Amino acid sequence: MCAAVERRMYDVAIIGGGVVGCAIARELSRFALRTVLLEKDAEVGFGTSKTNSGIIHPGHHSSNETLKGRLVVPGNALFDQLHDELGFAFRRIGELTVARDKDEFGKLEEMKALGESKGVPGLEMWDRDKLNREEPNLSRSLVGALHAPSAGVINPYEFAFALIENAQANGLELRVDAPALDVDLRDDHLEVRTPQESVPARFVINCAGVFADRVANMVGLDDFAIHPRKGEEYLLDKRLRGVVRRLIFPVPTAVTKGILIIPTYDGTLMVGPTAEDTDDRYDVTTTREGAEKVFESVRKICPPIDERATIAEFAGLRAASTSGDFIIGPTSVRGFINVAGIQSPGLTASPAIARMVLDILRDEGLSLVENPDFDPTNEPPPRFEQQSVERREELASSDPGFGRMVCRCETVTEAEISFAIDRGARTLDGVKFRNRAGMGRCQGGFCTPRIMEMLAEKLDIPLHEVTKRGGGSWLVIPMESGGSNAEGDGPCSDE
C-alpha cells in the first residue's frame, strides 16, 4: 500500500511512538514540515508509555544537575495547556512525601529548599496533625509530610493517543507495525528501512525507548546502552477509592525511590513500582516477590491497603541508560538525533523534551516555518456516561449507536467504540485504553465478542485477525467448516 506512495523526502522521521515520540510529532506539526512517525507496534503508546505510574511530578525530588532534573519542572508546567487543548485525562491532585521519623522530616526540609530553588510551586510542610486530618487512613506513626500541590495524575496512554491524533490532524504521517530495521547513511539524508518500505528523511529522531541503543547501533553509534529496569504496579479494587486522596511518596533513600500510593485519574488506587534490573527487553512479567515488596512497603505507610484487593497488575520497563541521565542531542552522524534513556520522569518531561528537540533541529539547520493551518485542539468524542441526563437523552435519540450498551461495567456504548476505531484503535487494547471498554469488573467477559466484531467490520478484516495488542496476540481460531455444530447464528447476524 505504502510502496505506491511517491517517494518524497521527509524532513523528519521519528522512530518510536511512545509519549516522547508523540510529543515531538505534535510539536513538529506546528510547522510546515513533512514528518513521519514509525512505530513497531500495532498502535502508539503500547511500550513503556502504557505501563507506568501516570504521575506528573512536581520536580522537587531531583536536582538541576541532571538533564532529567532540569526538564521536570518545565514539563509539569506545560500540562495545563496541553490538557485544555487535547482533552486527555489529567488532574492536579497534589503529592505528599511522608516522613517516618525525625531524620526523614529533616530530609523533607532539604527537599523543600531544593524544590523552591527550582521553582516548584506551593511546597508546604505539614505536621502530624495536619497530615492526620487530611489523610486519616495513613499510619499514625508518620511524623509529617511535604505537600506539593502541582503533582498530577494522568492516563498516560490517553496522552499518547491525544498527541498523535492532533499531530495527524495537522499533517503527521503515522506508520504502525513499522519497525525500523536499519538506517542507511546517504550523502544528504538518512534512509530508515522498515519491512514495508524505505523512508528517506533529512533528520531521524531516535525515541525508541528501551530499544534506543539498538536503533543508535543502526547508524554505527555505540556510545551508550540501555539497561532496562522493571517496575511492577498493582491496581486495587474500587472499594478502596478515597482511602488516600493524594499521591503518597515515602522519603527516597540512597537506593530506592520507594513504593508509592497512587490515586489514579479514574479513581482506583494503584501501588508500586518496584525497581529490578532485567536483561530481557520484553520482560513485563509480574512476580510473587515484586508483589510482596510492594505490599510490605505500602502497609507500613497505609495499613488498610491489602494485597487481596488487587484487581489487576502490570509491569513496565524504564529505559535506564549507562549514563543514568536522559541522552538528548545531535550525534556524530549528521541528521541523527538521540532522545534516549528517557526513564522516569520521562512522562512528565515529555512536553519539555519535545520543545528541546525543536531547538536542536533549528540549530542543526532545519527551517521551522509555521504551519498556517495548525489547529492545537482535539475534539474528544463524548463519553456517554459522563454526560448529563438531558445530554444522554439527546445523544441516544440522535445516534442509535449511543443506545447500544456494549461494556456494561464501564458503561461504554457502541458509538464510543466506533469513535475509538475511527480515531486509530486497531486492537482490543487500543479500544480499551481509549474508552475503558473491557477494563471494568468483568474484564471484557461480556463485551469482548462485540468489540472484536466491530474491529473486524470497521477494519475490514476477518474476526480471527483481530488481536489483543497486535503481533502474535491472536484471540480466536475459526472452527473447521462442518466441524461446528454452532447453535443458530452468531450475535452479529442481525446486521
Site residues for ligand FAD per CB under 6 A? 15-21, 38-41, 46-49, 52-55, 57, 179-180, 207-211, 215, 231, 233, 273, 316-318, 342-348
Q: Which three cell numbers stand for residue 242?
A: 478515597
Asked if residue 469 binds other proteins (CB under 8 A), the reply is yes
DSSP 236-272: E-GGGTTS-SSEEEEPP-SS----EEEE-TTS-EEEE
Asked if residue 487 binds other proteins (CB under 8 A), the reply is yes
Q: Which does 476 bind (CB under 5 to 8 A by kind): other proteins, ligand FAD, none?
A: other proteins
25 vs 138 by CB, closer to ligand FAD = 25
Whole-angstrom distance, CA of residue 231 vs CA of residue 55? 14
146 vs 349 by CB, closer to ligand FAD = 349
Work out how close the CB of 399 gets to ligand FAD at its nearest, in angstroms, rounded to a whole number: 20
Whole-angstrom distance, CA of residue 170 vs CA of residue 34? 11
Q: Annotated active-site positions, please?
A: 57
Q: Which position has the grid cell 486497531?
A: 426
Work out how close the CB of 435 gets to other proteins at its nearest, in angstroms, rounded to a whole number: 16
Q: Which does 347 bind (CB under 5 to 8 A by kind): ligand FAD, other proteins, none?
A: ligand FAD
Asked if residue 252 binds other proteins (CB under 8 A), the reply is no
Work out how close the CB of 218 gets to ligand FAD at its nearest, in angstroms, rounded to a whole number: 8
225 vs 463 by CB, closer to other proteins = 463
Distances (CA, A) of 60 to 116, 123, 149, 233, 363: 8, 9, 12, 23, 30
Q: Which three cell numbers stand for residue 159?
A: 496522552
Asked if residue 239 binds other proteins (CB under 8 A), the reply is no
Asked if residue 310 binds other proteins (CB under 8 A), the reply is yes
Asked if residue 456 binds other proteins (CB under 8 A), the reply is no
Work out how close the CB of 266 gets to other proteins at its nearest, in angstroms, rounded to a whole number: 15
Near other proteins in 378-417, by CB under 8 A: 389, 392-393, 396-397, 400, 402-405, 408-409, 411, 413
Whole-angstrom distance, CA of residue 20 vs CA of residue 207? 7
| Residue from 312, 358, 366, 368 in contact with other proteins (CB under 8 A) | 312
Work out how close the CB of 350 gets to ligand FAD at its nearest, in angstroms, rounded to a whole number: 7
Work out how close the CB of 388 gets to other proteins at its nearest, in angstroms, rounded to a whole number: 11
CB 247 within 8 A of CB 153: yes
Work out how close the CB of 375 gets to other proteins at its nearest, in angstroms, rounded to a whole number: 32
Peptide bond into 345 cis (omega under 30): yes
DSSP structural state of residue 3 = G
Residue 212: closest CA among 316, 322, 286, 68: 322
Residue 23-62 contact track with other proteins, rule CB under 8 A, x = bound: ----------------------------------------
Whole-angstrom distance, CA of residue 110 vs CA of residue 92? 23
362 vs 408 by CB, closer to other proteins = 408
Task: State the amino acid at position 167 in one-letter form.
Answer: A
CB 233 within 8 A of CB 275: no
94 vs 346 by CB, closer to ligand FAD = 346
The residues, ordered by sequence, that sit 6+ positions from 455 with a Cβ below 8 Å of its Cβ are 421, 425, 426, 427, 428, 431, 461, 466
DSSP structural state of residue 449 = H
For the chain, the first-to-last Cα distance in angstroms comes to: 30
Asked if residue 472 binds other proteins (CB under 8 A), the reply is yes
Asked if residue 485 binds other proteins (CB under 8 A), the reply is yes
Q: Is the dihedral of CA 348, 211, 164, 454 positive or negative?
A: negative
Distances (CA, A) of 353 to 71, 209, 254: 7, 14, 27
Asked if residue 285 binds other proteins (CB under 8 A), the reply is yes
DSSP structural state of residue 85 = H
Asked if residue 330 binds other proteins (CB under 8 A), the reply is no
Contact residues for other proteins, defined by CB under 8 A: 235, 282, 284-288, 290-291, 307, 310-314, 389, 392-393, 396-397, 400, 402-405, 408-409, 411, 413, 441-446, 448-449, 463-464, 467-480, 483-488, 490-492, 494
